[in-house]
Structure 1
Amino acid sequence: MLMEEEIIPFIISKGMVMTASFRREADETVYIWIHRFDYKTHLAALYEAVYESDHWKGVLSPKIGALLNREASNVLRVTPTAMSPMQ
């Protein structure tokens, strides 16, 4: 699987912390992943390191584009609550 074999190891190598990765039991086309970082201090640097890298643009992005239904994708930025263990 592209996420497990290539994308997650790559984003971790750039400093992102993977918190969770899920597939829907009844529909394997549904994939959810959660990574965390301090939005205020790390967001811009991490996004640049990952999404502006030559590897992302030249290798991973074309593979993702062949698999991803961009119209059905839903990307959310959420903030953990004070009691969340995902802080």
Structure 2
Amino acid sequence: MGYPTQVSATTFAKEFGKYRDEAMVSGGVEVTSHGRPIGAYISLKELENYERLKKRERRVIHARDMDDETLSAIMNAEYGKASE
């Protein structure tokens, strides 16, 4: 994803307050080690957005893991007909 501010882990640790404030303004700060991203510090607004999106993720269920009743209902469903 990348955030507008990128900082080394050492600098981030030494100047945490500065980058905490920067994250609140810009949404987040990307933290690097040896020039590679290793994590990010994000604002509360970004965290809430992340948690909202995680709740909306779909859960995948394999047919082999379904109970017989659910599998049968799917197999016998008719397109355009409301379930009873």
Specify the TM-score bucket, using the shorter chain as the normaliser. under 0.3
TM-score scaled by length of structure 1 = 0.26
- Higher-Rg structure is 2
Greater strand fraction, Structure 1 or Structure 2? 2
